[in-house]
Structure 1
Amino acid sequence: MKAFFMLDELNQFHWAMLKSVLLILSLLPISEGALSLWQATEGSSQIMIGFFVLSMLSAWFVVCFLSALKTTVWSNKELISKYEQLLFSAYRYIPMLFLSSLVAYLTMQFSIAI
């Protein structure tokens, strides 16, 4: 019976990991659409669109960061061996590493486009 609960906890962790990575991946089409919309406008419209996009992307980055942070602090002490604990601790940092690399990529793309 104990193994069933452990599998359930790991299943919940995998779903949280998947949701976090999908949230982070959704930043790519949002930022690409915002950049193309910003480049298609002229003058004062760029200021308004830029402010809207900046606030929307900041809120989305915060949501992605909180989701990645949630998976980072997940703990499960009921794993059997030290090797499994090591794999689990490395696996839970994947969304945060993915988010930081995606932020660096988007920063480079925006700096090249502007």
Structure 2
Amino acid sequence: MLWQRDDHPGGLRDLLGEFATRGINLMLLQSRPTGAGIGNYCFCIDAEGHISDRRVAEALMGLKRICLQVRFLGSYPRADVRPGGIRPPLPGTSDEEFVGAADWVARCQDGRF
């Protein structure tokens, strides 16, 4: 569950961008009025992946940074796993690629280009 800090153009895009950037497919997106006035909504999002996946964890960290409130309701395995599991991540969005990018940034920060 996500609560925006304020209602502004592109606000929902900012929230969804945390998932899109990391190649995370959304299974459910619902908006609900908060009762705090026009334009104040919270969003219920169900995403493909598990919190132990680096890209899912990083999306949640990004959301925690930009949202007024993030309520994590849990992470569970898919009930309809097909042979071979869920679809592979988009190029540049696998856990290994996120680890590699983080290592590269750490080397740059240490002056080891």
Q: Would the TM-score normalized by the shorter structure come out above 0.5?
A: no
Greater RCO (Cα-Cα under 8 Å, separation 6 or more): 1
Give the TM-score of the pair, scaled to structure 1.
0.28
Larger % of helix: which?
1
